Amino acid sequence: MQNCRIAVVGATGAVGRVFLKILEERNFPFSDIRLLASKRSHGKKMVVKGQELTVEETTRESFRDIDIAFISASGAVSRLYAPIAVEAGALVIDDSSVFRMDPRVPLVVPEINADDLTHHRGIAAIPNCSTTQMVMALYPLHRVNPIKRIIVDTYQSVSGTGTAAIEELKLQAGNILQGADAKASVYPHQIAFNVLPHIDSFMDNGYTKEEWKMVEETRKIMHAPDIAISATCVRVPVYTSHSEAVHIELTDPMSPEEAREILSRFPGVKVVDDPSSNTYPMPWDAAGRDDVFVGRIRRDASNPRGLAMWIVSDNLRKGAALDAIQIAEEILKRDLLLTPSRRR
């Protein structure tokens, strides 16, 4: 793979810090790296591959002489800087939801639809973290026995909201254990020792935007516009890794044994499923690991063509930073960096 010059917008954030670690772990081939964040972090030092680097404030000039710009800050930052970066000649890999459903933007989980990258026009997007782990576990089954319907309930960690939410959970838990009150500022209610059936804002149809992302993004990534999907997204007081209880209806019946066999052969998926020894995926174990873990695979007792399962994955890794880096690796492998003809 060729060496390239990269910029990381949001390098100081929850995803950004994990991103820098994974760059090292995978020995991602870059010749130059620019760490970018908000004005607040300007001048801050961070170490990448043993080298101390200085974080800069993101400006319109930040993308000059950059081949790949990873943007992992917020929707507003992506909306502002992605077109500027593309104009400057950089391919953007974006973590926000801003461009995901744009038909010109590939929305990619490389194990599933890396080929979609060949049509990029300067921006590629990663999915929402709850979508990524679900499609990683469902796509291998869908390939051999098309899925008709998905019902999913999520148990999402606070790091999915970012650094401020991790700090809020720590602070609230400490205060409550000392008999003090918990003040909520990131979420509308206390998150410590609580569960919130509310992620992102509510829509007119009664679902939240987070739930609707799962519906639309799953269909786009799996190229399956007709799958019926209903999601309930819930925030739980866990630092890292999202968990999901998923019920699917397939075209034909499938045994749990066959599902385990198919899943255990899919790259990036690990079956952890032995109820007799209380073995199943849990967020504490998945944190810091790259795989998507699947367990509790069983027949859905309410549907002869149904299966039920439990899916857990580190939202900061496969749910964000790792997926973005895998996309960049595919871009380099397939020689798909931005060229003037692609921008048209």
Ligand X SMILES: NC(=O)c1ccc[n+]([C@@H]2O[C@H](COP(=O)([O-])OP(=O)(O)OC[C@H]3O[C@@H](n4cnc5c(N)ncnc54)[C@H](OP(=O)(O)O)[C@@H]3O)[C@@H](O)[C@H]2O)c1
Residues with catalytic annotation? 129, 242
Taking alpha carbons only, the member of 68, 69, 71, 39 closest to residue 56 is 39
Residue 206: count other Cβ atoms within 10 Å of its Cβ: 7
Nearer to ligand X, 15 or 338 (CB): 15
Contacts of 56-62 spanning 24+ positions with Cβ under 8 A: 58/9, 60/84, 62/7, 62/9, 62/34, 62/36
Nearest approach, Cβ of residue 255 and ligand X (Å): 33
Nearer to ligand X, 227 or 324 (CB): 324
Of the candidate residues 4, 7, 9, 231, the single one contacting ligand X (CB under 6 A): 9
Of the candidate residues 32, 40, 167, 304, the single one contacting ligand X (CB under 6 A): 40
What DSSP character marks residue 95?
A: -
Q: Is the Cβ–Cβ distance between 260 and 187 less than 8 Å?
A: no
Residue 81: count other Cβ atoms within 10 Å of its Cβ: 25
- φ/ψ of residue 122, rounded to 5: 120, -25
Nearer to ligand X, 58 or 243 (CB): 58
Nearest approach, Cβ of residue 12 and ligand X (Å): 4
Nearer to ligand X, 312 or 320 (CB): 320
β-strands 306-313, 269-271: how paired?
A: unpaired
Nearest approach, Cβ of residue 55 and ligand X (Å): 7
Q: Which two tokens stand for residue 102?
A: 């744009």
Of the candidate residues 20, 23, 37, 123, the single one contacting ligand X (CB under 6 A): 37
Residue with the two structure tokens 């992992």: 72
Nearest approach, Cβ of residue 104 and ligand X (Å): 20
Nearest approach, Cβ of residue 97 and ligand X (Å): 7
Nearest approach, Cβ of residue 57 and ligand X (Å): 7
Residues between 105 and 164 with contacts to ligand X, criterion CB under 6 A? 129, 159-160, 162-164
Residues between 226 and 245 with contacts to ligand X, criterion CB under 6 A? none
| Binding segment (CB under 6 A) for ligand X, from list 13-21, 173-181, 205-213, 287-295 | 13-21
Alpha-carbon gap, residue 21 to 48, rounded angstroms: 8
The verdict on 15 binding ligand X (CB under 6 A) reads yes
| Binding segment (CB under 6 A) for ligand X, from list 10-18, 26-34, 258-266, 269-277 | 10-18
DSSP H helices, the chain, are 14-25, 75-87, 110-113, 129-144, 163-177, 209-222, 256-264, 283-286, 322-333
Q: Which two tokens stand for residue 126?
A: 């990663």
Residue with the two structure tokens 């027949």: 299
The verdict on 268 binding ligand X (CB under 6 A) reads no
Of the candidate residues 4, 6, 7, 13, the single one contacting ligand X (CB under 6 A): 13
Classify 286 as helix, strand or coil: helix
The verdict on 6 binding ligand X (CB under 6 A) reads no
Residues between 180 and 219 with contacts to ligand X, criterion CB under 6 A? none
Of the candidate residues 4, 7, 12, 283, the single one contacting ligand X (CB under 6 A): 12
Nearest approach, Cβ of residue 275 and ligand X (Å): 29
The verdict on 259 binding ligand X (CB under 6 A) reads no
Alpha-carbon gap, residue 292 to 280, rounded angstroms: 12
Q: Computed from CA positions of residues 247, 112, 212, 236, in that sequence, does the dihedral angle turn out positive or negative?
A: positive
Nearer to ligand X, 287 or 307 (CB): 287
Which residues make up the interface to ligand X (CB under 6 A)?
Answer: 9-16, 37-38, 40-41, 58, 72-74, 77, 95-96, 129, 159-160, 162-164, 315-316, 319-320
